[in-house]
Amino acid sequence: MKPVLILGGTGHYGHHIVSSLRKRHKAVRVLTRNPDNAKKLFDDQVDIIVGDITDTESTKKALTGVDTLIISVSAFSLKLIRRLHEIEYDSVLRVLQEAQLAGVERVIYISVYDIRKEALEQTNKYFASIALIKQAVEDYLAKSDFNWTILGAPPAMDMFFAFIRKDKMMVPGGGPPALPSVATADVGEIAAQAALRDDLNGQRIRLAGPEALSFPDAARRIGEATNREIKFRKIPVLPIKIISILVWPFTPYLRYLAGSIKMLNMFPADLAADVPKDHQYLQNNFDYQSVTLEMAAEKWRTVLENSTH
């Protein structure tokens, strides 16, 4: 059985993709810089290749004997942001070229939910560069001979809980009237199923969760689901923007983060309105039970309770 290679297999979405493939008894290979972490996450049936996506020798070794490739790579972190172009553009395009030479047939690429250049122009050049890199990779795939599918992922549902501190949901700018989100486990299921199918060639699929939500609505419903009062607070964006400029020489991450916050607050209303249609497509074409906000809230409460004991 030829393995599925996952780049970013220990990441936010990646480890869920690995788990979903393993549930289907599919051979899985992961390229990772941290084998100890990978061994903690996965059973001993996952083939762990130690290496880095930026290293040609590592990626060629990982691609040997592979017919399906899943790319779930992100450098949007404090540690990796300076290498974003090198990792998400230079290395990903080189890996795709290597994959063609290695005989890889199927490619799944985890991208952003949607790319609107006119909207990106209103954020900042740092955040816009992330989406434009994703667009460049998508354009490369569209012109390739791969059997490819692009999965456009919105912000993870975890974001609602990440803004909660001591029963207050504090959101810079307050957020848009509504925006899509998706559970990381749902991304894992859909990506795994897509990787094992060959009838989705040339499709770009948006991974919407069950509904579009505003942050105030999310705060209220999380509170109801967990029997606690979650108060919503809108906090100003300007201080974050000023700080991001001041610390730029030391860490560029905050400039990217400031852009993402601005983009979050101006999320296109027409995309939010399409969420029911996008989610229904997933329900009709993939076999999974989507995670609701209430289900995620119950899991969040359990984690909180366990951490206090």
Q: What is the pLDDT of residues 106-144, one digit of tens each?
A: 999 999 999 887 766 666 676 788 889 999 999 999 999
Strand order in the sheet with 147-153: 47-50, 28-32, 4-7, 68-71, 106-112, 147-153, 203-206
pLDDT at residue 124, rounded to an integer? 61
Residue 39 lies in a domain: yes
**Threshold 0.85, pTM exceeds:** yes
Residue 133 lies in a domain: yes
Residue 245 lies in a domain: no
Residue 11 φ then ψ, to 5°: -85, -170
pLDDT digits (tens, 9 = 90+) for 206-239: 999 999 999 999 999 999 999 999 999 999 988 7
> Per DSSP, which regions of 82-210 are E strands?
106-112, 147-153, 164-165, 168-172, 203-206
Residue 148 lies in a domain: yes
Residue 53 lies in a domain: yes
- CATH of residue 11: 3.40.50.720
Distance separating alpha carbons of residues 236 and 96, to the nearest angstrom: 42
pLDDT digits (tens, 9 = 90+) for 162-171: 999 989 999 9
Residue 223 lies in a domain: no
- Can you read off the two tokens belonging to residue 203? 């499709």
Number of independent structural domains in the chain: 1
Distance separating alpha carbons of residues 188 and 110, to the nearest angstrom: 11
Residue 72 lies in a domain: yes
Domain ranges, residue 148: 4-155+182-208+270-291
Residue 221 lies in a domain: no
